Amino acid sequence: MVIVKTHARPPKKLSKMTWYTTHNRHVYFEPNLLRYSQKAAEIIVNSLRVTLQKKETAVFVPSSGKSPKIVYQILYREYKNAIDWSRVVVVQMDEYYGIPCNDVNSMSANIERDLVHPLGIKKYIHYFNIRGKFIQSLEAYEQLIEKLGGIDLVVHGIGQNGHIGFNEPDSDWTSPTRKITLTDSTLKANFNETNSHFRESYCQGVTIGLHILTKAKHSILLISGKSKNEIVEKLFSQTPSKAIPASSLSLNFLVDCIVDGDSISLSGKIKS
């Protein structure tokens, strides 16, 4: 695996990449999906372990997309006893507006099934109840995150249009936790042929805003799949802007980006 760190001189092919101009940016290229997922799991556990050495609880905002599913399985198989997961508070990042938390298509149910229940996490903060009604206002949701001390660790996937969470392109970097209309590309990527009828029912979402996400003490960006090739090349080569919400990670203190072999053609050009 080739590891490129910002405090080292970047390879010539990457010399113009904005990502490499800031300290505390670590980019890992791993063509093997299992090793890619193992690396992500290792970084997650190490980050939470360090946080729990400093404070009683760690606030963890996980992605509920497709990229981290294997990562969460590895956390259960290999790291269930590595830390005290009961001291980890999981906060939901995004959700389809008005979907019951126990609906199999909800992100809440995915996080509950893949992460919260297997690891024995005791506190899980999410948006909606079983009737699809807000448990608390979005303003109160954001205030609760701040009351907990902010986000210690967030795991992001990236949309084909560059979104993180449900912060779609042109989202302001000071945007609050809010309701948002989802783009067609997001809906098509999230709903396959078997559940495409949900596109009309859940064409809006709620998301933690970039104002809060960019304050996370540690951010992990997971990038996998050939469909991400174009947006990831833009992310790494263009000046950060509202057009690519994931580029707001340039504001974060510490970012680990893990890229698989399919999602970015640049990885094939890098030589150690």
Q: Which residues are catalytic?
A: 94, 161, 163, 168
Burial 92-110 (b: 16+ CB within 10 A, else e): bbbbbbbbbbebeebbbbb
Q: What's at 220, amino acid-wise?
A: I
* Half-sphere exposure at residue 13, Cβ-oriented, CA atoms within 13 angstroms: 10
How close are the terminal C-alpha atoms of the chain, in Å? 9
How far are the Cα atoms of 20, 87, 214 from residue 210, in angstroms, in the given order? Answer: 21, 25, 6
**CB of 255 closer than 8 Å to CB of 219:** yes
Query: How many angstroms separate the CA atoms of 188 and 272, rounded?
Result: 37
Phi and psi for 205 in degrees, rounded to 5? Answer: -140, 175
Tokens standing for residue 271: 């030589």
What residues have CB less than 8 Å from 60, skipping those under 6 apart?
48, 88, 89, 90, 91, 151, 152, 153, 154, 155
